[in-house]
Structure 1
């Protein structure tokens, strides 16, 4: 068996593909990390974001939701200047906004994971794509989740970002049918 082609020959991308991509996660902190990184990726390549992942983890204390919810504009500007993160201030401000929104969801649903996984009855969607070109950039479901998140004050959560996010946390398994990690 082979693997998906999109990771290419870069070890960091291959490791992400092999060990994380499309693997179901129910951990709010990891889910928040993936939401943050997918939002940071908007308009950029995933490999750029993965190379900066360690810096993001350091800057946001391993994506501690409560900590991130308490960051002020001065803190976020300092993160922008002192860490090797994407220097887009609105993307950095989205970390705080999304952490605050997650705290609200946790109060209402018990966890961010419960809120998200309920959309698919807690069962991953396993697609049967034969070619990577068949994988959509977004779906009706990612559009619906995007709209719902925006209503709850989330930022950088468009339908394409949310579809990538769904893959990142394993809500969707889009490994091609010949991939050994399927």
Structure 2
């Protein structure tokens, strides 16, 4: 008799099919290109104070509104673009977050002008060990590395990059493995072992 095992997921990933899809196929997988990291950093900032499900439902509208999160194109947005975005019902219309996204794109370009990349900066804060949570209560919301990265991003002119937002980014793009140790997705990035040590 065949037994089927129910996949173990974080509680938040079980509340809606869209979240389950995101958890099973994207969350925790490595992202190393500047545009991809800029997109996720921007979406994490827009999520601040809201549900991640709200952001996921609006993700394609965000991509259309923000020129595919191409930092070069977003950095050129002006006041007319801000008003366009403020009238776009497809996205989260928060002026401070919109302005921060544009300024963050400009900060990415300043990194490029200095011969650096957003990817190198973000990934340089990968810890030696990843958390190994056994249940949702043990999943961290910040880390020493996320505090350090948040401080460095702010120093470089980024906005809406608190330690919690940055840790969410680090979890989303595989810098840490915040999957539960019994999850079928634990170690999915290929970068971490189940016990939280680097491969």
* Range into which the TM-score falls when normalised by the shorter chain: over 0.9
Mapping 1:118-137, distance limit 5 Å:
118-120=124-126, 125-137=129-141
Gaps of 5+ in 1: none
Matching of residue 161 in structure 1 with residue 168 in structure 2: no
Q: Decide which moves more: 156-165 or 77-86.
A: 77-86
Give the corresponding residue for 1:173. 177
Per the TM alignment, residue 111 of structure 1 is displaced from its structure 2 partner at its CA by 2.2
Matching of residue 144 in structure 1 with residue 148 in structure 2: yes
CA distance in 1, matches of 2:20, 2:166: 21
CA distance in 1, matches of 2:61, 2:36: 15
CA distance in 1, matches of 2:138, 2:77: 40
1:160-180 per-residue CA deviation (whole Å, 9 max, x = no partner) reads 111101111111110001100
Per the TM alignment, residue 27 of structure 1 is displaced from its structure 2 partner at its CA by 1.3
Matching of residue 54 in structure 1 with residue 54 in structure 2: no
Instruction: Indicate the SS of the match to 1:163.
Output: helix
TM-score after normalising by structure 2? 0.85
Contact 1:42–1:161 (Cα < 8 Å) also in 2 = yes
Question: Which 4+ residue blocks in structure 1 deviate beyond 4 angstroms?
Answer: none
CA distance in 1, matches of 2:154, 2:15: 36
CA distance in 2, matches of 1:29, 1:100: 13
Give the corresponding residue for 1:3. 9
Per the TM alignment, residue 83 of structure 1 is displaced from its structure 2 partner at its CA by 4.3
Give the corresponding residue for 1:98. 104
Per the TM alignment, residue 53 of structure 1 is displaced from its structure 2 partner at its CA by 0.6
TM-score after normalising by structure 1? 0.93
Give the corresponding residue for 2:29. 23
Per the TM alignment, residue 9 of structure 1 is displaced from its structure 2 partner at its CA by 3.6
Residue of 22, 30, 42 corresponding to 2:48: 42
1:86-122 per-residue CA deviation (whole Å, 9 max, x = no partner) reads 111010011110001111122335421111112227x
Greater Cα radius of gyration, structure 1 or 2: 2
Residues matched between the structures, number: 180
Matching of residue 77 in structure 1 with residue 78 in structure 2: no
Contact 1:137–1:163 (Cα < 8 Å) also in 2 = yes
